[in-house]
Structures are given as C-alpha cells and as structure tokens.
Structure 1
Amino acid sequence: MSKSYKDIIADTSSNIAKMRKDIPEVLQGFNAMAHSAGKGGALDEKTKELIAMALSVAARCDPCLGYHAKALVKHGATRAEVEEMLGMCVYMGGGPALMYAAAALAAYEEFGGEKAQA
C-alpha cells in the first residue's frame, strides 16, 4: 500500500489544529520558532528546507517528509538537489535512511516536484 503524503499532512494538520485550541501557547511558541528558524539569512530558505528534509529522513517522520517536500517544491528545489541531499542521508544513516530517502523522494514528487527521467 502506497502512502499519500498529502493525506498524511492533512490528517496531521487537523490533529494539530485540535492541539492549537487546547494548548495555544505551546503551538504559538512552536510556530514562532519554526518561522524564525526557517527564515532566510546566511542560509536561504531552500537550503534550510533541504536540511529539514534530511533531518526528517533521519528521524523517520512521515508527516515531516510531507511538510518539507511541499516546502522544497515551493522554494524551487530541483530533483538533483533533493537527490544529492538524500544521498548524504543514505551515507550517514545506512539502510534505514535509504528506505526513508526513497519515501522522501516520493513525497517530493507527490507535491509536484520533478519526476525521474524515463
């Protein structure tokens, strides 16, 4: 059975919305941190999203793969950039990282990223 990263992040976002009502201060703090950390500076936003995707692979976080794949497409990451980053993930994380690198690439494609050449 194939995963839909669009469905995964939709479900996750729905659950986070419930938490936002119950613990608003925590979610406001998290959102502020995410905004501040992701803002361009010495590293541009695309580079920061490549780092976030690498950490998502390492953490084996399916919702993270979806959110960061969507952001990578938004920031114009090329397939070559994504694959080079995933190669570093596999190098650093071995077999389990390879499995999540493959899933990260599927998420990138699902959100409209470049497909492999036939």
Structure 2
Amino acid sequence: MSTFDHSGLIKNINQNLVPLRKSQPDAMQAFGQLARSAMAEGAVSAKHKELMALAIGITQHCSGCIGFHVKALIKLGCTRQELEEMLTVCVYMGGGPALMYTAEALSAFELMSADAVSA
C-alpha cells in the first residue's frame, strides 16, 4: 500500500497558493468560481463530475488532483465500487502509467475514507 500523504499534499498546495491568492486575487477567484460552476449539480451529478475530474487527474499523472478529487468524492458518498469501475476506464484509456496512479487513488481513497470516519 502506498504511503503517499494526499491530505498533507492538499494542505501544502493550499498553503503554497496563499501568496498567489494575495497577489492575484482576481485570477484566483475566477478559477475558484470556474471550479464551483463546473462541478455544480446539473444534468450531470456532482459525483459524476468528480469521478470525471479524478479520471483526468489520473491520466494526467497529477497527485494533487487525485488528493483533491478523492476528498470531494468521499464527501459526495462515492462507493469503492463506483471508484473502481471508473478506475478501470482510466487504465483502459491510459495504460500502464494510469494503472500506477490508479493504485495511488485507491490508497488515497482508503486513507482519506478512514480519516473521514474518525473525524
């Protein structure tokens, strides 16, 4: 099992972006609004949108994306079965490299789910 700390990575990313949020507030607020609008419930559910975002993060090899979107999926009640079915599509479309990040996503889901239960 991976020992990669996605919760710590999310925290570090957020901390490292504080200066950019201060120096470029309009751009950072616009990005935040884009994210909120894109991920809002609509004809496609927020959970399905998060599954798509995680799939893109996996196939783009983005550990930060994996952390943020796994965290969101847990909050939205994503099941392990839903996650695993989506991950098989990632492997189908992304091959071996996607399989490596799939393992990372599974580990993040397990660890962050356990953290959510104990919180």
Please give the range of the TM-score, normalised by the shorter of the 2 chains.
Answer: over 0.9
**Length, aligned pairs only:** 113
4+ residue stretches of structure 1 with deviation over 2 A? none
Cα distance, 1:111 vs structure 2: 1.2
1:56 aligns with 2:51: no
1:47 aligns with 2:51: no
Aligned to 1:29: 30
Distance (whole Å) between structure 1 residues aligned to residue 19 and residue 35 of structure 2:
19
TM-score (norm: length of structure 1): 0.92
Distance (whole Å) between structure 1 residues aligned to residue 99 and residue 60 of structure 2:
12
What percentage of aligned pairs have identical amino acids? 45
Q: Which runs of 5+ in 1 are unaligned?
A: 114-118
Distance (whole Å) between structure 1 residues aligned to residue 11 and residue 112 of structure 2:
13
TM-score (norm: length of structure 2): 0.91
Distance (whole Å) between structure 2 residues aligned to residue 17 and residue 67 of structure 1:
17
Distance (whole Å) between structure 2 residues aligned to residue 30 and residue 110 of structure 1:
28
Alignment of 1:24-103 (within 5 A): 24-103=25-104
Q: Which runs of 5+ in 2 are unaligned?
A: 115-119
Aligned to 1:9: 10
